[in-house]
Structure 1
Amino acid sequence: MEDDVDRLIEAWQRERPDVDVSPMHVLSRVTRLALHLDRARKEAFADHDLEPSEFDVLSALRRSGEPYQLSPGALVQETLVTSGTMTNRVDRLVSKGLVERLPDPADRRGIQVKLSRSGLAAVDGALDALLAHETDLLAGLSAEEATSLADALRTLSHPFDR
């Protein structure tokens, strides 16, 4: 079974036989799959009136467990963005009624960001839609193949993780 990456690699091998293009067998496919996943994420989130960046914040709050609230600093760590970016994201989510800002009981100067009921419904709906898209993307793999691929990708991405 030949794909676009095979054709791309053949062309490079023909034009540049002096270089080893073997990394492209894996990484060009990962790049193309990432593009498909990005489209699926945008579709799933758009159906719930969310941007991917908004979903990231809402999902960090949802994963934190009840009462679904975190400090802005914890949200920055969870989403790997700057504090200024997080402030803008929280502002947008507050204006959409998906989160609320509450005083931090442990720090009079601090705040907590809490998932609202509509935020909980939005993030749960978006997650369900995302998982349906992701399941479709992986439909061509057996359970064993998916596990093997996940293990290989974990090994490959480990040096980049925190």
Structure 2
Amino acid sequence: MPPADGPSAPPGGDEVDRIVAAWRRVAPDLDVEPLEVLSRVARLAHHLDRLRRGAFAAHELETWEFDVLAALRRAGGTHELSPGQLVVQTLVTSGTMTNRVDRLERRGLVQRRPAPDDGRSVLVRLTPAGATVVDAALADLVRAEHRMLAVLPAGERRALAALLRRVTAPFETTARG
């Protein structure tokens, strides 16, 4: 029997089970079922953030630096995008992006060039050094993420990805709109 001052998780349970049990005890009229999913997503996001920061630090990158470099790498071709396209892909303000591009340019990881179709605009291009560092960081990240998901068989990983896609889709649509 759990102690009177707090519930314990069911056998095989986790911290979220303990949190949900406590809320059910102190607020029995409140439906706390969303916590069973979303608190786990939040906790997983925290662990994933730590894992990613570690993978990027091994390449002397901050998470935001990886995000910008990865967006340019994914662009294919000449690996360049406008600052506005980078803003959309990284979900930051234009002022923040200007600061980030300045910092990456000082490190020799990106360079600006005039846009060929509009002399007032610029494009941000990934340099060879930037491509090398983002490719190496991505390889380390993917290896670490594979280890993180190894507790699930391939079919369950695909099912989880599909479920999470359904939950996040309305937010992604709103962000693009």
Fold match (TM-score > 0.5): yes
Query: Equivalent residue of 1:50, what SS?
Result: coil
Determine if the alignment matches structure 1 residue 29 to structure 2 residue 40: yes
Which residue of 63, 71, 81 corresponds with 1:52?
63
Secondary structure in structure 1 of the residue aligned to 2:54: helix
**How big is the alpha-carbon RMSD for the aligned residues of Structure 1 and Structure 2?**
0.9
Matched length: 162
Q: Cα deviation per residue 1:58-98 (whole Å; 9 max; x = unaligned)?
A: 01100000210111111112112111010000001001110
- Whichever residue aligns with residue 96 of structure 2, its letter is T
Aligned partner (choices 158, 169, 177) of residue 158 of structure 1: 169
The TM-score with structure 2 as length reference comes to 0.89
Matched, 1:69 2:80: yes
Counterpart in 2 of 1:19? 30
* Structure of higher CA gyration radius: 2
- Displacement after TM superposition at 1:124 (Å): 0.5
Residue 87 of structure 1, aligned match among 78, 98, 101: 98
Distance 1:68 1:59 in 2: 10
Give the equivalent residue in structure 1 for 2:132: 121
**Hey, what's the Cα distance between the residues in 1 that align with 2:51 and 2:88?**
25
| Equivalent-residue separation in structure 2 for 1:71 and 1:23 (angstroms) | 39
Structure 1 position 123, deviation (Å)? 0.6
Extract structure 1 runs of 4+ deviating beyond 4 A: none
Residue 142 (1) aligns with residue 157 (2): no
Q: Unaligned 5+ residue runs, structure 1?
A: none
- What is the rounded CA distance, in whole Å, between the counterparts of 1:130 and 1:103 in structure 2? 33
Q: Say whether residues 1:130 and 2:141 are aligned partners.
A: yes
Deviation of the 1:34 alpha carbon: 0.3
Which runs of no fewer than 5 residues in structure 2 stay unpaired?
1-11
- Partners in 1 of 2:121 and 2:167 — Cα distance? 39
- What are the superposed Cα offsets for residues 14-73 of structure 1, whole Å, 9 maximum, x if unpaired? 111111111111001000000001001101111111111111110110000021011111
Counterpart AA for 1:86: M
